[in-house]
A and B are shown apart, each in its own frame.
Chain A
Amino acid sequence: MEELGWLAISGRIVQQTLPVWVAMAIVFVLSIRFRRRLGLYGKLFDSNVGMVGFGIVLFWVLTAIFADLIITHDPLAQMRGMRNAVPGSRLANPADQYPYYLLGGDSLARDVFSRAIMGAREVLKIAPFAAMISFMIGISLGLPAGYFGGRLDTGLTFVANLVLAFPVILLFFLLVAPEIQATVIPTAMAGVLFLVPVLFVMVLLNARFFTQPMKRNLYVGAALLVGLWAYSGLAFNADPLGVWGMRANLLNVFVAVVFVNAPTVFRIVRGITMDIRTRDYVAAAQTRGEGPWYIMMWEILPNARGPLIVDFCLRIGYTTILLGTLGFFGLGVSPESPDWGSTINDGRRLLTVYPHPALVPALSLMSLVLGLNLLADGLREESLRD
C-alpha cells in the first residue's frame, strides 16, 4: 500500500480546495480595487494585520460554503483498514471513491481531512449565528438600559451581573445536561431569547417608518411574518414548512451559548449608550421631537457600531472556543458531529501516538480564532483612525 509524501498531500489539498482559492482571489482583487468606496470594510485592506485576519476568516467561510465540493469522503463514513491511518494513506479498496485519506484516518477510521472541512461548516453554522442573537439581545436590552437609566437599568444590570457571576462551565453543566433537554426549560428559554431578535427588527423598522404608515405596515408586516416563521421553527421546532428547525441538543447548546454571551454584550452596549447619550446629535434629535426608540436605533446604534463590530469578531472566536470546551466535557453538539471541539477532544487521547486526528482540527480552530482576532485588531485600528 503506497502512501503519499507530504508534497503530494499538500498538492492534493490545494487541488481539492481550489474553489476556495479562486473565490478568495476574486474577493481580494475586487475589494482592493474598490476599497475606497467600501467604507470601513475597504479600509481593512490598508492594514496588513486586518488583511491577514480577513484572509484567514474568509478562507474558512468559503471552505464552509464549498465544503460539499471539497470533501473527499463522507465525514461520517468508516472504512475498514483505515483506523488511525497516517496522512496520505491509500484506501484498501477504493472502488469509485477518492483513493486516499489525505490527512489520515481517525480512531474510527473516518477521513480526518473531510471531517475538518465539514467541521468548519458546523462551527461557522453555530458560532456567528449565536453571536448574532447574543448581540441582538444585548443591544435590545442595553440601549434602553443605557438610555433611560433608572430602575430599568438597575434591574437589567442586576440580572446581567447575576448571569455573569456564574462560572460558565457550571452554567453549561446545568443547562446542557440531557435531563434538562427533556424538560421545557430549553424551549422556554429559546422562546424568550429568540423572540427578542424578532422584536428588535420590528422596533427598528417601526421607529424608522412610523411616519409613513403604508410603508411601515408593509415592512413591519413582512418582518413579522418571516420572523415568526423562523421563530416557530427554531424555538419550537414547529415550522409548518419545515425549513427552519433545530435538533433538541443543538437548541440546548445554542441557548446556553447565547445566554452566556448576551449579558456581556448588554454591558458593552449599555456603557457605550450612556456615553453617546450625552452627545450633541442626540440632543438635537431630542429637540427635533424624535421618539426614544428612533434615537436609540437610528442615532445611537449606528454611532456605536465600531466597537460593536470589533467585539462581534472577538465573540465569534470566543464562542468557537466555548463550543470546543463543551466538547471537552462531553456536552457537545452531537456525538458524531465533525465540529472541531468534539474532534479535538476525541483525538487528544491518542495524541502521543496518532497526532493527526487531533492536530488538524486544533490547528484549524486556532487559525480561525487567530484570524478573527487579527481581523478585530485591524478593524479597531482602522475605525480609530476615523
Chain B
Amino acid sequence: MKHERNDPMAIHPAARMYAEECRTGRLSRREFLTRATALGLAAPTAYGLLGIAAPQARAETPVQGGTIRMQMDIKAQRDPRTWDWSELANVCRGWLEYLVHYERDGSLTPVLLESWEANEDATEYTLRIRQGVTWNNGDAFTAEHVRHNIERWADASVEGNSMASRLGVLSEDGQLRADAVEVVDDHTLRLHLSSPDIAIIVSMADYPAAVVHPSFTGDDPVGNPIGTGPYRPVSHDTGIGAVIERNPDHTWWNEGNGAWIDRIEFVDLGTDPSAWVAAAEGGEIEITYQTTGDFVDIFESIGMPSSEAITASTLAVRFNQTQPPYDNVNVRRALQMAVDNETVLELGYDDRGEVAENHHVCPIHPEYAEMEPPEFDPARAAEMIAEEGLADHEFELISIDDAWQAATCDNVAAQIRAAGINIQRTILPGATFWNDWLNYPFSSTEWNMRPLGVQVLNLAYRSGVAWNEAGYSNPEFDALLDQANGIADADERREVMLEIQRLMREDGVLIQPYWRSLYRNMRPEIRGAEMHPTFEVRYQQYWKA
C-alpha cells in the first residue's frame, strides 16, 4: 500500500455524500471506498470521511530477499491492451506498472499518478503524474507518456483491444478524440469526457491498462521489458513458466515500500488442479494462483492455508432470446423456476459464495435493491414447459470445460431434469468455447466483478451491445438503465434498480445461481499475497517471513 499525501482542497462533494450514505448504512464500506477513491480521494482520506482510520497495512516488517514459486498459467505474451487473461498482466506487473490500483477493500490507490480529481459533474478529470518516476532505461516518466498510453488504449482498430470500449467517453470513431486529453505540463494532464463517467479511473486499474514506454511497438512486453517497476524478466516459456528477478540496474520510485523478494518463479502446471497438489506436495510450488472447489480443503490439509476474497464474480447461465425456443418468455421462466439456486451453490460450487437471485445485481453493489428470492417450483416448471408444447423437447446446456463451471451447469441440468424436463449437457474445450459464446442458445459464461451494479448491466444486457450474449432487447429495460446511469445517489438509484431487477426476472433473462468467493492457497510463511478480487498478483508486495 502506498502512503499518499492528499491534496486537502480536493474532497469531491459527491464523496461527502457517499460518506453520509455509508455512515447511515445505505452504502457498503467497500462500495463507498471504490466510489470515493474513484473521484480522486486518497484511501486514508476516504476512511477519514467515515471517521475511522485506514487499516494498517501490516504489523510485521517485511523481510528482504528470497524466492517465491507460484503456480500460474503462462500464456504467450502480446500487446498489453489486448490482454484477455489476468495471468498475462500478472507476469509483467513487476516492470509494467499502472496509473492506479484497485485494492482488496474496494478502494483505489494511486501508483504512477500522485492524485487525481474530478469536477462537479465528473466530466473533467485532472490527473497529477507522480514526480521522480523513471523508466528502467533511464528516461523520465512524463504526462506525455500517459497521453500516449491513453491514445493507445482508445485505438479500436487494434483487434482485441478491450480498453477501447472502456474509454468510450474519450474517443471518437474508434480513435482518441483530438481534444480529449490535454497535457497541461510535464506532470499534469486533463481529461475532457464527452459525458459523465465515474468509472473512468476504475477502468485504468483494469489489467490491460499497463503503462508502456513510448518505444513499445506492440508485440511482446517481455522481449523488450522497458517499464517503471522494480523487477525484470529473466525467462518466459509459454506453457512452462516464467522467472522474474529484481532489477539491480534501476532505482524504483517506491524504493523501500516493496520489491522485497529477489525472484519470483511462475510455474505453469496446466489446468488440472490435482497436478498442482502433486507439485505442492513435492515442494515445487508454494502458492497457487486460484484454487476452486474441493481443492481449497485439499491444499489446506497439506499445510497451505487459504486466502479468500468475496466478490461479485459470478456464472451467468443465460438464455439467448433470439434463438428458439428461448424466444418464449414462458420457457425461460419455467427453466428458472426448475432450479433452486441454493442447491446449485452447494453442489456446484461447494457452498463457497452467496446465493444470487437471477438478476445480476449483487448485494455488495450500492444500488442493490432487496427482493424476494426467485420462485422455485419444479412441478409448475414442468407444467409450463408442457403447456408450451415442449414436453418432448430436449434442451441443451453448453458450458466450457472448466471444472467448477461444468459442475455448476451439471447441477443446473440435473435439477431441470429432476423436474421432468429433458435436457442434455455439452461441454466445449476452452479454445473452442469462445468461438460462438455470444450465440449459444443456452450456455454459461463467467463474469468477473465490476464495482457498480449498472456496469455489468450496461455491458451485457443493454440492447445491441457487443457482449449481449442473452440477446436481451427490451426498450423499457434500456430506458430504466439510462435513468439509473444518470442518478448519482445510490438511494434514488435503488428505486429504479428495483424495477430493473424485477424486469430482468420477469423477462427470465438468466439463471444466476451464486456470487463466487475466490481462493488462493499458500505456504504460511508467504505474506502480502492475499487473494485479490480481480486476480491481481502484485508480487512487489510479496515477501517471505
CB of B407 within 8 A of CB of A80, answer no
A83 touches which of B347, B413, B418, B425 (Cβ 8 Å): B347
CB-CB under 8 A for A78 and B347, given A350-B294, A351-B274: yes
Whether A80 lies near B343 (C-beta < 8 A) is yes
A350 near B298 with CB under 8 A, answer yes
Q: What's the Cα separation between A353 and B302 when bound, in Å?
A: 11
| A335 pairs with B426, CB closer than 8 A | yes
Q: How large is the interface on B (under 10, 10 to 19, 20 to 34, 35 or more residues)?
A: 20 to 34
B406 near A335 with CB under 8 A, answer yes
A354 to B297, CA, bound (A): 12
State which size class the interface on A falls in: 20 to 34
Query: Among the listed A177, A178, A348, A353, which residue makes an inter-chain contact with B298, where contact means beta carbons less than 8 Å apart?
Result: A353
Given A335-B425, A350-B294, also A76-B417 (CB < 8 A): yes
The answer to whether B290 has its CB under 8 Å from any CB of chain A is: no
For the complex, is A30 an interface residue (Cβ under 8 Å from B)?
Answer: no
> Residues of A contacting B199 with CB < 8 Å?
none
Residues of A within 8 A of B413 (CB): 336
- Establish whether residues B347 and A109, one from each chain, have CB atoms under 8 Å apart when the complex forms: yes
A233 contacts chain B at the CB level, 8 A cutoff:
no
> Which residues between 175 and 206 of chain A lie within 8 Å of chain B, taking CB atoms?
177-179
Interface residues of B in 425-447 (CB under 8 A from A): 425-429, 432, 435
The answer to whether B427 touches A330 (Cβ under 8 A) is yes
Q: Which residues of B contact A107 (CB under 8 A)?
A: 293-294, 407
Asked if B414 is an interface residue, CB under 8 A from chain A, the answer is yes
Q: Mostly helix, strand, loop or mixed at chain B's interface?
A: helix
B478 on interface, CB distance cutoff 8 Å: no
Return chain B residues, CB-CB under 8 Å to A249.
Answer: 426
Of chain B, the residue at the smallest CB distance from A329 is: B429
Which residues of A are found within 8 Å of B426, using beta-carbon distances?
A: 249, 335
Contacts of A335 in B (CB 8 A): 406, 410, 425-427
Interface status of A334 (Cβ within 8 A of chain B): yes
Q: List residues of chain A with CB within 8 A of the CB of B297.
A: 353
Complex Cα distance, B78 from A70, in Å, reads 55
Complex alpha-carbon distance, A374 and B425, angstroms: 37
Question: Chain B contacts of A174 at CB under 8 A?
Answer: none
State how many angstroms separate the Cβ of B188 from the closest Cβ of chain A.
52
For the complex, what is the distance from the CA of A107 to the CA of B407, rounded to whole Å?
9
Q: For the complex, is B498 an interface residue (Cβ under 8 Å from A)?
A: no
Q: Assuming A107-B294, A330-B401, A336-B425, is B414 touching A80 (CB within 8 A)?
A: no
B414 and A334: CB pair below 8 A?
Answer: no
Interface mask (A306-345 → B, CB under 8 Å = 1, otherwise 0): 0000000000000000000000001000111000000000
Q: What's the nearest-Cβ distance from chain B to residue A245, in Å?
A: 12
Please, what's the 1-or-0 string for B331-365, where 1 marks a CB less than 8 Å from any CB in chain A?
A: 00000000000010011101000000000000000
Please tell me which one of the listed residues A80, A83, A334, A354 contacts residue B350 in the complex, with CB atoms under 8 A apart. A83
Inter-subunit contact B407/A350 (CB<8 Å): no
A352 contacts chain B at the CB level, 8 A cutoff:
yes
Hey, which chain A residues are within 8 Å of B17, CB to CB? none
Which chain A residues (243-266) contact chain B, with CB distance < 8 Å? Answer: 249
With a cutoff of 8 Å between Cβ atoms, the chain A residues found around residue B293 in the complex are 107
Query: In residues 87-132 of chain A, which contact B (Cβ within 8 Å)?
Result: 107-110
Please tell me if B273 contacts chain A, counting CB pairs below 8 Å.
Answer: yes
B432 touches A179 (CB 8 A): yes
Does A36 reach chain B (CB closer than 8 Å)?
no
- Min Cβ gap A340→B in Å is 18
- Given contacts A178-B432, A330-B429, is CB(A352)–CB(B277) below 8 Å? yes
Does any Cβ of A come within 8 Å of B424's Cβ?
yes
Q: Closest Cβ of chain B: how far from A277's Cβ, in Å?
A: 48
Could you write out 26 A-B pairs with CB less than 8 Å apart? Answer: A76-B417, A77-B414, A78-B410, A78-B411, A83-B347, A83-B350, A84-B294, A108-B347, A108-B411, A178-B428, A178-B432, A179-B432, A249-B426, A330-B401, A330-B427, A334-B425, A335-B406, A335-B410, A335-B426, A336-B425, A349-B273, A349-B274, A349-B295, A349-B403, A350-B298, A353-B297
Q: Taking A77-B418, A109-B347, A178-B429 as given, write out 8 further A-B residue pairs in contact, using a Cβ cutoff of 8 Å, ordered by the A residue number.
A: A80-B346, A84-B294, A107-B407, A177-B432, A330-B429, A336-B410, A336-B414, A348-B274
* Chain B residues proximal to chain A, CB less than 8 Å: 272-274, 277, 293-295, 297-298, 301, 343, 346-348, 350, 401, 403, 406-407, 410-411, 413-415, 417-418, 424-429, 432, 435
Shortest Cβ-Cβ A-B pairs, 9 listed? A335-B427, A349-B274, A78-B414, A335-B425, A178-B432, A336-B425, A109-B347, A330-B401, A178-B428
